Each structure stands twice: as C-alpha cells, then as structure tokens.
Amino acid sequence: MLEIKNLHVKLEEQDKVILKGVDLTVEAGKVHAIMGPNGSGKSTLSYVLSGRDGYEVTDGSATLEGEELLDMEPEERAAAGLFLAFQYPVEIPGVGNMTFLRTAVNAQRKARGEEELSAGDFLKLVRQKAKTLKIDAEMLKRPVNVGFSGGEKKRNEILQMAMLEPRMCILDETDSGLDVDAMRLVAEGVNALRDENRSFLVITHYQRLLDHIKPDVVHIMADGRIIKTGGPELALEVENNGYAAILAEHGIEGVL
C-alpha cells in the first residue's frame, strides 16, 4: 500500500534536516504504529506524505500503491486515497462543517470521475456516521473546528475519515486529548473502517490507543529515522521502559 524509501527531508527555509532516511512499508489491510520521542519527526513524516508546503525532499520516495506521492498536489494525494488525521486539527471560521465535508467528499468523487453525492444522500450518510461518533447536529452546523473541544476536534477528524473512506489513513496522535470514552469511540470508528484493502499508520505516544486499535507492526522513530521495528510487544516495552534503552542501542542520545 504505502512504501517509503530512504526519505530525506529538510526544512525549506532553514538548513534543518528532519527526516534522515525513513524506510517504511505498510501492507494492504495492516495497521502499523509509529512511536517515538517528541521531535523525532513523526508529524513531519505525515505532513510530507500529505504534501504540506515548507519541506524539501532531498532524497528518497514515497509511493501509494505504486504511484509516487511526492510528485502530487495535496488534493491529488487525497483523491488517490491518502488521509491524514491532524495532530492539531485546523479551525476554519466562516466555513460550516457540513459545507466543508460535502465539498471534500464531492471534490474527491469528481477527481475520481464519480458522480457527486446529492444533498439528500450526503445528509443521510453524514448523519449516520456522525451518530456513531456521537457528533451532534449542532457540531455539524458550526464552523469547522471553531470552538470545538480538543476531543471534539479529534472525533471530527475521524468523521472526515469515515466520510472520505481513504485507503491509507495516517492518524497523528488522534488519541491525545481524548477522554476514555472518546478514545473508545474513536477506536471503534477506526476499527469499523478496517478491511483488507485499507491500511493505517497510527502515530501515538501511548499503548492505550493500541489496546483498542491492535497494530500488526510497531515502529520506533528517533532522530528522523525508523530505528526499530517489531510486533505489538514493542509498544509494551516502550510503555514500561521508555525509549532510553532503544535509543542507546542505536547510539542516539536521549532527548531528555
């Protein structure tokens, strides 16, 4: 599904190198988790994959089902099936959540040569998906993320994901800021989307989320690289012992 090879990225405006050769392959139907100390480059990886400005790829590639992502515009990547649930969802005053969702859904359908959803069909779909995420009608009417609580914003991200039905879902710390119940809702939302043609890359700091969304593979990212890959037990090891031992193994000094 997603194949990242030797990805090197620096900031466009500064000489700072953030990703220093990331190699990562996510197979169809699998859930991969990425953990790693603050500042190791996890969000940067997710932004670069989804096409945010401000980064310069100096080497390497990233393909989605064989297609080079790095050559595409952000909207083309979305239409190709990539989705990023933001670590910090963006507020857009003046644009209703519903308008935002409908514009996004129809833009992607159009890009794929499918017919736009009628207003009625769209409404039915969004109501049904919102209900399972406990997002009420009022939240759908409000401007995108404006005045939403942290947890509401994260649930709103998952609603967008559910509506857009991407094939490759990247979740950047979707669990942060969620209470226990919201965490379960979000996890259920994600699990409902799991199928053999859809993959997930879940960025998280905590084992908690991975109790609900069981990963097939866990990666540890540090200093702009994937330094260790293992099974679910790797997340438990981090939870219990922290990163010190793993970092030391790779000759990387701890951040703290």
Partner 1 sequence: MTAVEKQTPLEARLAAIDLPKGGAFTAARADALARLVAMGLPGRRDEYWRYTDPAALNAPMAPAAKPFEASDEAPLFNGMDRVKLVFVDGVFDAEASDAPELAGVEIARLAEAEAADIHWAQGLYGTLETAGQSPVVRPFAALNSAAATDGLLIRVTGKAAKPVSLIYVHRSETSDPILHHVIKLEPGAEFTLLENGPAGARFNKVMEVDVGAGARFHHIRAQGRDHERRAVTGIFARVAEGALFKSFTMTVNGVLTRNECVIDMVGDDAVAHVAGAALGDGASGAFHHDDTVFITHGAERGESRQVFKKVLKHGAVGTFQGKILVKPGAQKTDGYQISQSLLLDDDSQFLGKPELEIYADDVKCSHGSTTGALDETAMFYLRSRGVPHEEATALLVLSFLADAIDEIEDEALKDEVVSRLEAWLARHRG
Question: Binding to ligand ATP by residue 244, rule CB under 6 A?
Answer: no
Smaller CB distance to ligand ATP: residue 44 or 160?
44
Q: Does 242 bind ligand ATP (CB under 6 A)?
A: no
Torsion of CA 207, 27, 165, 185, to 10 degrees: -20
Cα of 23 vs its chain's centroid, Å: 17
Nearest approach, Cβ of 74 to partner 1 (angstroms)?
4
Please list the helix, strand and coil fractions of the chain in percent, rounded to the nearest 5, in that order.
40, 25, 30
From the CB of 41, what's the least distance to ligand ATP, in Å? 4
Q: Which of the choices Mg ion, partner 1, ligand ATP, none does residue 38 contact, using the CB cut-off of 5 to 8 A by kind?
A: ligand ATP
Residue 24 forms beta bridges with which residues?
4
Q: Give me the least distance between CB of 27 and partner 1, in Å please.
A: 23
Distance CA 72, CA 121 (A): 30
Q: List all residues 6 or more positions away from 214 whose beta carbon is below 8 Å from its beta carbon.
A: 31, 232
Write down the residue that tokens 């940067």 correspond to.
Answer: 44
40 binds, among partner 1, ligand ATP, Mg ion, none (CB under 5 to 8 A by kind): ligand ATP
Q: If binding is defined by CB under 6 A, does position 42 make contact with ligand ATP?
A: yes
- Closer to partner 1 by CB, 174 or 215: give it: 174
Interacting residues with ligand ATP (CB under 6 A): 11, 16, 18, 36, 38-44, 54, 87
